[in-house]
Amino acid sequence: MSKILATLLLILSLPTLALAKTVTVEQVLDGNTFMTTDGDRVRLIGVDVPNSQDCYANKSKNYLEHLIRDKEVTLKFDEDRRDSGDRLLAYVYADSFINRKLLQKGYGAVITDEPNTAHANTFTEDQITAQKEARGVWGHCVVIIADYLPAKVTNVSVSDIWTDSAEII
């Protein structure tokens, strides 16, 4: 009976085991992409960072290096395991939830790519807080703010206008 129970538990845990992988970070390529010692390129799900020549690009990369370079990290996956460039798509954990930490500190912006949306609402909340507190790109880079506005804005009103900000409803 105990062998059957142990076998059943092992079978039930296999899908869960496939959703996580522990790797060592060899090189950080930019603020949301890195290489593992296994040779895999990994892109953080839900985090869009400035391109190499844009404001805060180097700071985003340096911060990610500080958090994970030469460290063992755990990758957790969502619906799509790889993108069109054959990069692993992952939520990355070291001492903390790295994807969230980058957004909380303002090193990037939320990007939602269906179907990988398990943490989309939390990521959006993190970005809103970073914006309100003018952290990272939100306090230092005028261009990135324009990049994340919708093409056409309708049915909005503005209140609480100050010299450096306004409340948009």
Half-sphere exposure for 60 (CA within 13 Å, toward CB): 32
> DSSP string spanning 91-145?
EEESSSBHHHHHHHTTSSEE--BTTB-TTHHHHHHHHHHHHHTT-THHHH-HHHH
pLDDT of amino acid 141: 87
pLDDT digits (tens, 9 = 90+) for 11-52: 444 444 458 999 999 999 999 999 999 999 999 999 999 998
Contact (Cβ atoms closer than 8 angstroms) between residue 14 and residue 20:
no
pTM for the model stands at: 0.74
pLDDT of amino acid 134: 95
Contact (Cβ atoms closer than 8 angstroms) between residue 24 and residue 36:
yes
Mean pLDDT of the chain: 85
pLDDT of amino acid 13: 45
The residue type of 148 is Y
Question: In whole angstroms, what is the distance from residue 72 CA to residue 51 CA?
Answer: 26
pLDDT of amino acid 153: 54
Contact (Cβ atoms closer than 8 angstroms) between residue 118 and residue 97:
no
pLDDT of amino acid 17: 42
What average pLDDT does the segment 87-103 reach?
A: 97
pLDDT digits (tens, 9 = 90+) for 131-161: 999 999 999 986 544 455 455 556 666 666 6
Question: In whole angstroms, what is the distance from residue 59 CA to residue 24 CA?
Answer: 22
Contact (Cβ atoms closer than 8 angstroms) between residue 46 and residue 116:
yes
